[in-house]
């Protein structure tokens, strides 16, 4: 698979915490002793970090509170087809990301969504579209497939603990220079994992900060983490199998993707328009960040009713969906980024990465995880 990088594309700037090394210095020629890294979170950043460390000859153990890898690339599988509940697509601007994607040929495919319409609150097109010269890519059969494919060797080697929440990070009882993690499984079982030389956090900034506070850890990560802000997002997924009839291709509008100025809805995408998906008409609707924050604590029935009403207003599609599902992302979109690719406290061997370091693009998460690994190794 060939991906052309724009001539204007620049390598994301990488910096670090006061105790960090720059990426250029993080690639020494000398051979480093093998170390054992604990990585908290198996999203794009965490898996990119883990893969890089393993390739450098280190040992990793990844802890993920969900039952699969992927983070906000989560794909929901239903009787009507899949839904990309989080990240809808990604772009490729960094040559390192392009090379990584080339290691899994056939997984990623271009999505013909370069012309993104902009709609007003009533669904009227306010501009011809946001034309983009760079391709919009999706993983197939779902966005989660890319991260899961990269995570598979780690999983097969028993290096990922799913359904495991890290409750506390503390100094190793047997080695004061090392670290141990206290965890709790989905079933409530508690366990202590020890013998780590470093701990790397691949979570939303607020979650990492909360874990550090709960662990009573004062380090160079705390202050920078406090600067990051992220907005929530309510996501609604709709299926209309009524459209799968001779002579009828869609029930909804003739466009496949749009941004909306409606006060409740920010993004709409026809899932069935993505390559490698089933033909049943399905829509993923992502709510406006401000509206999501205002209704974050609402019950799902109320949120669903309001979003369904808004969806009908924007699309004109008033048919009753055969399937409706909601998902709430407490930390969905970065509103104030860290401004550097990662955080690394070399004195305490603690680091943090995530898309929130550089922005909210999937590629930002990859670069963040990669460059934290290069700094920490």
Residue 131 has pLDDT above 60, yes or no: no
Residue 253 is predicted with a pLDDT of: 81
The residue that leads in pLDDT, 300 or 1, is: 300
Residue 20 is predicted with a pLDDT of: 39
Q: Tell me the per-residue pLDDT of 340-355, one tens digit each, with 9 for 90 and over.
A: 999 999 999 999 999 9
Helix (H, G, I), strand (E, B) or coil at 23: coil
Please give the Cα distance from 84 to 102 (Å, whole number).
22
Q: Tell me the per-residue pLDDT of 184-214, one tens digit each, with 9 for 90 and over.
A: 999 999 999 999 999 999 999 999 999 999 9
Among 145, 149, 148, 97, smallest CA distance to 367 is for: 97
What spatial distance separates the first Cα and last Cα of the chain, rounded to whole Å?
A: 30
Residue 26 is predicted with a pLDDT of: 40
Q: What is the DSSP letter of 68?
A: S
**CB of 47 within 8 A of CB of 154?**
yes
Q: What percent of the chain has pLDDT over 70?
A: 85
Average pLDDT, the chain: 88
Among 50, 142, 135, 147, smallest CA distance to 104 is for: 147
| Mean pLDDT score, 74-88 | 96
Burial status of residue 165 (CB atoms within 10 A of its CB: 0-12, 13-18, 19 or more): middle
Q: Tell me the per-residue pLDDT of 16-43, one tens digit each, with 9 for 90 and over.
A: 333 333 333 344 334 468 999 999 999 9
Residue 254 is predicted with a pLDDT of: 78
Residue 151 has pLDDT above 80, yes or no: yes
Neighbours of 346 (CB within 10 A): 17
Please give the Cα distance from 80 to 263 (Å, whole number).
29
The residue that leads in pLDDT, 28 or 278, is: 278
Cis peptide before 344 (omega within 30 of 0): no
Rounded CA Rg of the chain: 21
Residue 279 has pLDDT above 70, yes or no: yes
| Mean pLDDT score, 138-166 | 97
- pTM for the structure as a whole: 0.87
Please give the Cα distance from 121 to 315 (Å, whole number).
10
Q: What percent of the chain has pLDDT over 90?
A: 76
Q: Tell me the per-residue pLDDT of 209-260, one tens digit each, with 9 for 90 and over.
A: 999 999 999 999 999 999 999 999 999 999 999 765 555 556 778 788 888 8
Q: Is the dihedral of CA 191, 193, 198, 202 positive or negative?
A: negative
Residue 244 is predicted with a pLDDT of: 59
């Amino acid at each position: 698979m060939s991906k052309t990088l724009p001539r204007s594309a620049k390598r994301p700037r990488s910096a670090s915490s006061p105790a960090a090394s720059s990426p250029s210095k993080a690639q020494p020629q000398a051979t480093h002793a093998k170390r054992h890294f604990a990585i908290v979170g198996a999203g794009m950043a965490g898996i990119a970090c883990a893969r890089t460390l393993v390739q450098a000859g280190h040992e990793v153990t990844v802890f993920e509170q969900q039952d699969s890898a992927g983070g906000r690339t989560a794909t929901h599988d239903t009787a009507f087809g899949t839904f990309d509940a989080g990240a809808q697509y990604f772009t490729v601007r960094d040559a390192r990301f392009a090379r990584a994607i080339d290691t899994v040929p056939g997984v990623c495919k271009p999505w013909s969504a370069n012309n993104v319409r902009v709609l007003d609150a009533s669904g009227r097109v306010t501009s011809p579209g946001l034309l983009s010269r760079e391709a919009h890519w999706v993983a197939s059969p779902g966005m989660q497939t890319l991260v899961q494919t990269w995570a598979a060797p780690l999983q097969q080697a028993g290096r990922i603990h799913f359904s495991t929440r890290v409750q506390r990070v503390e100094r190793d009882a047997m080695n004061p220079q090392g670290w141990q993690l206290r965890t709790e499984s989905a079933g409530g079982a508690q366990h202590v994992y020890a013998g780590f030389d470093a701990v790397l956090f691949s979570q939303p900034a607020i979650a990492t900060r909360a874990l550090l506070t709960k662990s009573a850890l004062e380090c160079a990560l705390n202050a920078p983490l406090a600067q990051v802000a992220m907005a929530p997002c309510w996501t609604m997924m709709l299926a209309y199998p009524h459209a799968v009839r001779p002579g009828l291709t869609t029930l909804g509008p003739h466009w496949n993707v749009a941004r909306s100025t409606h006060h409740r809805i920010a993004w709409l995408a026809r899932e069935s328009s993505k390559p490698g998906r089933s033909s049943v008409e399905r829509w993923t609707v992502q709510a406006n960040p401000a509206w999501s924050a205002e209704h974050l604590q609402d019950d799902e029935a109320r949120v669903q009713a309001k979003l369904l009403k808004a969806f009908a207003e924007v699309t004109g599609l008033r048919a009753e969906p055969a399937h409706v599902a909601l998902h709430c992302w407490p930390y969905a979109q970065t509103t104030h980024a860290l401004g550097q690719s990662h955080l690394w406290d070399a004195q305490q061997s603690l680091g943090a990465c995530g898309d929130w370091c550089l922005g909210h693009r999937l590629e930002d998460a990859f670069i963040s995880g990669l460059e934290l690994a290069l700094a920490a190794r």
